[in-house]
Amino acid sequence: MDVILGPWPWYVGGALVAIIMLMLIILGKSFGVSSNFRTLCSTLGAGNSCDFFKFDWKAQRWNLLFLVGAIIGGFISVNYLSVNQVSDINENTVAQLHQLGFESAGKEYIPSEIFGELSLKNILILSIGGLLIGFGTRYAGGCTSGHAISGLSDLQLPSLIAVLGFFIGGLFMVHVLFPLVF
């Protein structure tokens, strides 16, 4: 049981994600989560004020169902497949995070300093992060699933450029902005 209830190794996670991508392609679809944001905007009526959202969103219903599945998957993981799973990160990372003020590093799955309390600062972090994710993924035409997994698996150059961008942005955030934010 420990094999199931404990953290799963990276090769199991990576292999499952690849199989899911291949299954979706065989089903005549594609693996890309962020396009759901555009679909959701359309279902909320954004097509009335902006042409970008005027498309046949009902053809994307399968992807919204995939998203519903992902939510259920998170629920099942926490309630039935885990016993208080803690992210067992490198001890240097833990020490570094303690210095930044993250006492939860090495003790929790995600930091309660950000997700535990809805302080003004945390609300700002989550809203600005959300804006960047929503705007950036659509501008880049995809996120980690569409570019880093699907696009790179298909050896597409645009996806390589996008993933390079993901890393430039991520490295800048963690190494330059984090010391100013936290």
Partner 1 sequence: MKNLVYIFLGIVFGIAMYKAEAASWFRIYEMFNFQSFHMYGFIATALLIGAIGLQLLKRYEAKDIKGEKIKVRPKEKSIIRYLIGGVLFGLGWALVGACPGPIFVLLGAGVWPMLIVIVFSLLGTYLYGIMKDKLPH
CA distance 139 to 153: 21
Q: Considering only residues 26 through 65, tell me which ones interact with partner 1, judged by CB under 8 A.
A: 26-28, 30, 33-34, 36-38, 40-41, 44, 46, 49-50, 52-53, 62-63, 65
Is 105 one of the binding residues for partner 1 (CB under 8 A)? yes
Q: How far is the CB of 6 from partner 1 (least distance, A)?
A: 9
Q: Classify residue 104 as exposed, middle or buried by CB count within 10 Å of its CB (0-12, 13-18, 19+).
A: buried
Pick the closer one to partner 1 by CB: 101 or 158.
Answer: 158
Residues in the chain, total: 182
Contact 134, 39 (CB under 8 A): no
Among 121, 123, 179, 180, binds partner 1 (CB under 8 A): 123
DSSP 3-state of 124:
helix
Structure tokens at 70: 């992902």
Does residue 53 contact residue 41 with C-beta atoms inside 8 Å? yes
Residue 110 interacts with partner 1 (CB under 8 A): yes or no: yes
**Binding of partner 1 by 126 (CB under 8 A):** yes
| Number of residues counted as binding partner 1 (CB under 8 A) | 122
Check residue 157 and give left, alpha or beta (phi > 0: left; psi -120 to 50: alpha).
Answer: alpha
Position 139 contacts partner 1 (CB under 8 A): yes
Q: If binding is defined by CB under 8 A, does position 168 make contact with partner 1?
A: yes
Exactly one of 2, 12, 48, 103 binds partner 1 (CB under 8 A); that residue is 12
